[in-house]
């Protein structure tokens, strides 16, 4: 009997420690965790000031700018619907031919100060710039590659100008960096032989050098956002991803790193084989968001989503009519959606080859900026509120202030708010201070009045709350 029981327990625990069945949501009891050399460095959210700043920023812009902006989705007279920054791959252009686009890199309208001004006016607190995308072209004069801005007609250090201009405007700069590099002969998708292994180790050294170069040339960088890390070659070298994270953290105190860089001893990515987040924040919400009701587990760690304005165009594509383009309110909805679940949102821009932004992006940017100017207090430094989701929109929270961000107006003229146990709504106001009627309608349930003059855009109601543990209740449960 006892033996049987033991065998069953043993079997069960063996099953439980198998990395394949580890789910990020089901953490193992500590004693059942497996030993990892390259797993999570930390349990739970980072609590230092730099991480708090990353989190408080909440709204960022992503910038995809590279050689791909020049063809803008068109190669030899044919337009490709896929993401413009992948055109080299869609049109099967050999690297040497693709890299000749460098001869045309001469963005005469590029003006870093104007970009910074635009970012400032759009309300973003940080900008993530593609230092190098998959194509391998570097926006800084890297001494480890010939494929850089220095070897183009334009010559100037675009990245350096941007870092300075954004920082002068009080905007944090994050570096996007693609590990996968189509321009490098030593890049491998998979390590199949000793020769591959030797080449790939050379590639990793080259990548280390470029990263050290970025970290030391631009020491105000606040974050590295890695991409192009999903291939078997990286999963076979999880040690290297752990090494990069440590190396950058030594070089740049406080720097934050996304989970996408990381693979553990078993090649498990983002979350290690024990289910713990690697890196400082989860970065898999790309062009999608967690469900605000079903996916509340995301509020347990830091995360940042990123999105495109068309369905899937990051780099500049000439023809935005090929896919659905989100309206400014839809973009805003996604920003608020992310913050309501304790995440950040980076909205992508793909500047033109001449260094200017397309009109749709300028319009979106100014819409978001105007809205943030009026309503930003429900976004910056805000977090998941912990209140049950309602159909009219999203909640965010800053300490004891709860924000209702209303996207859908009900015909009843009343917005339902259900408070957690022991929490009452004391007062509701618009952000301009105008008061809004609050009616208690049942236990922990309120009707919040809609202002008579509703703005023709999403608006915010701020709730002041009070807490009492055991209020004398006039409400009785139904006997059924």
Closest by Cα among 241, 246, 185, 193 to 215? 246
Tell me the C-alpha distance between 348 and 365, whole Å.
Answer: 10
User: Cβ of residue 66: shortest distance to ligand H76, in angstroms?
Assistant: 10
Q: Does 282 bind ligand H76 (CB under 6 A)?
A: no
Nearer of residues 61 and 450 to ligand H76, judged by Cβ:
61
Instruction: Choose which of 271, 314, 320, 395 interacts with ligand H76 (CB under 6 A).
Output: 314
DSSP sequence for 114-151: HHHHHHHHHT-SEEEEEEE-TT--BSS--TT-S-BGGG
Nearer of residues 71 and 376 to ligand H76, judged by Cβ:
71
Q: Does 83 bind ligand H76 (CB under 6 A)?
A: yes
**β-sheet bridge partners, residue 59:** 345
For 369-394, give one letter per residue: b (16+ CB within 10 A) or e: bebbeebbbbbbbbbbbebebbebbb
Q: Does 129 bind ligand H76 (CB under 6 A)?
A: no
Q: Does 371 bind ligand H76 (CB under 6 A)?
A: no
Nearer of residues 83 and 298 to ligand H76, judged by Cβ:
83
User: Cβ of residue 178: shortest distance to ligand H76, in angstroms?
Assistant: 7
- Count residues near ligand H76 (CB under 6 A): 8
Tell me the C-alpha distance between 465 and 351, whole Å.
Answer: 44
User: Cβ of residue 312: shortest distance to ligand H76, in angstroms?
Assistant: 8
The footprint of ligand H76 on residues 86-115 (CB under 6 A) is 86
Nearer of residues 259 and 444 to ligand H76, judged by Cβ:
259
For 427-451, give one letter per residue: b (16+ CB within 10 A) or e: ebeeeeeeebebeeeeebebbbebe
- DSSP at 375: H
User: Cβ of residue 107: shortest distance to ligand H76, in angstroms?
Assistant: 19
Nearer of residues 180 and 385 to ligand H76, judged by Cβ:
180
The footprint of ligand H76 on residues 186-205 (CB under 6 A) is none
Sign of the dihedral defined by the CA atoms of residues 316, 259, 59, 450, in that order: positive
Q: How many Cβ atoms from other residues are within 10 Å of residue 279's Cβ?
A: 26
Stretch that binds ligand H76, among 50-58, 80-88, 162-170, 238-246 (CB under 6 A): 80-88
Instruction: Choose which of 36, 60, 85, 309 interacts with ligand H76 (CB under 6 A).
Output: 85
68 touches 88 (CB < 8 A): yes
Nearer of residues 130 and 396 to ligand H76, judged by Cβ:
130
145 touches 210 (CB < 8 A): yes
CA angle in degrees (0–180, nearest 5) for 131-128-405: 165
User: Cβ of residue 314: shortest distance to ligand H76, in angstroms?
Assistant: 4
Tell me the C-alpha distance between 452 and 475, whole Å.
Answer: 31
305 touches 343 (CB < 8 A): yes
Q: How many Cβ atoms from other residues are within 10 Å of residue 205's Cβ?
A: 13
User: Cβ of residue 313: shortest distance to ligand H76, in angstroms?
Assistant: 9
Instruction: Choose which of 135, 223, 227, 304 interacts with ligand H76 (CB under 6 A).
Output: 227
User: Cβ of residue 85: shortest distance to ligand H76, in angstroms?
Assistant: 5
User: Cβ of residue 392: shortest distance to ligand H76, in angstroms?
Assistant: 32
User: Cβ of residue 351: shortest distance to ligand H76, in angstroms?
Assistant: 14
Stretch that binds ligand H76, among 6-14, 78-86, 249-257, 442-450 (CB under 6 A): 78-86
Nearer of residues 105 and 225 to ligand H76, judged by Cβ:
225
Tell me the C-alpha distance between 373 and 12, whole Å.
Answer: 55
The footprint of ligand H76 on residues 9-68 (CB under 6 A) is 64
Q: Does 181 bind ligand H76 (CB under 6 A)?
A: no
127 touches 119 (CB < 8 A): yes
Position of tokens 């105190």?
A: 253
User: Cβ of residue 325: shortest distance to ligand H76, in angstroms?
Assistant: 17
Nearer of residues 46 and 64 to ligand H76, judged by Cβ:
64
Nearer of residues 210 and 396 to ligand H76, judged by Cβ:
210
Nearer of residues 208 and 286 to ligand H76, judged by Cβ:
286
Residues that bind ligand H76 (CB under 6 A): 64, 83, 85-86, 227, 286, 306, 314
């Amino acid at each position: 009997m006892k033996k049987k029981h033991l065998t069953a327990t043993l079997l069960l625990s063996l099953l439980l420690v198998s990395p394949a069945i580890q789910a990020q949501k089901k953490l193992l009891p500590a004693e059942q965790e497996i030993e990892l050399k390259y797993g999570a460095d930390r349990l739970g959210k980072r609590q230092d000031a730099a991480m708090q700043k990353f989190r408080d920023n909440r709204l960022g812009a992503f910038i995809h700018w590279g050689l791909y902006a020049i063809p803008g989705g068109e190669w030899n007279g044919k337009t490709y619907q896929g993401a413009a920054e992948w055109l080299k791959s869609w049109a099967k252009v050999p690297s040497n031919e693709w890299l000749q686009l460098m001869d045309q890199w001469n963005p005469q309208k590029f003006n870093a100060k104007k970009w910074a001004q635009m970012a400032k006016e759009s309300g973003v607190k940080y900008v993530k710039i593609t230092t190098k995308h998959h194509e391998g072209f570097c926006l800084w004069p890297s001494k480890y590659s010939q494929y850089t801005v220095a070897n183009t007609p334009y010559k100037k250090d675009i990245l350096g100008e941007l870092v300075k201009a954004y920082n002068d405007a009080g905007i944090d700069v994050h570096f996007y960096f693609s590990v996968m590099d189509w321009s490098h002969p030593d890049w491998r998708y998979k390590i199949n032989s000793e020769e591959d292994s030797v080449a790939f180790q050379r590639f990793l050294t080259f990548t280390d050098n470029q990263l050290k170069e970025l970290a030391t040339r631009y020491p105000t960088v606040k974050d590295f956002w890695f991409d192009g890390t999903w291939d078997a070659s990286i999963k076979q070298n999880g040690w290297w991803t752990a090494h990069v994270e440590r190396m950058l953290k030594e070089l740049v105190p406080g720097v934050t790193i996304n989970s996408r860089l990381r693979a553990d001893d078993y090649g498990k990515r983002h979350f290690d084989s024990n289910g713990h987040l690697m890196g400082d924040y989860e970065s898999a919400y790309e062009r999608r968001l967690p469900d605000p009701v079903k996916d509340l587990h995301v509020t347990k760690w830091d995360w940042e989503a990123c999105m495109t304005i068309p369905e899937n165009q990051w780099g500049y594509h000439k023809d935005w009519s090929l896919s659905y383009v989100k309206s400014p309110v839809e973009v805003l909805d996604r920003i608020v959606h992310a913050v309501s679940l304790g995440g950040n949102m980076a909205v992508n821009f793909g500047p033109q080859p001449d260094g200017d932004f397309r009109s749709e992006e300028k319009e979106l940017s100014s819409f978001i900026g105007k809205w943030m100017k009026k309503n930003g207090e429900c976004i910056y430094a805000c977090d998941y509120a912990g209140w049950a989701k309602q159909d009219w929109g999203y909640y965010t929270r800053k300490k004891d202030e709860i924000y209702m961000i209303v996207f859908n107006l009900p015909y009843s003229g009343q917005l339902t708010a259900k408070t957690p146990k022991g929490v009452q709504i004391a007062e509701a106001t618009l952000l301009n201070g105008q008061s809004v009627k609050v009616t208690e309608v049942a236990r922990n349930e309120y009707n919040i009045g809609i202002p008579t003059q509703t703005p023709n855009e999403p608006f915010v109601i701020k709730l002041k709350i009070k807490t009492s543990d055991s209020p004398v209740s006039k409400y009785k449960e139904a006997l059924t």
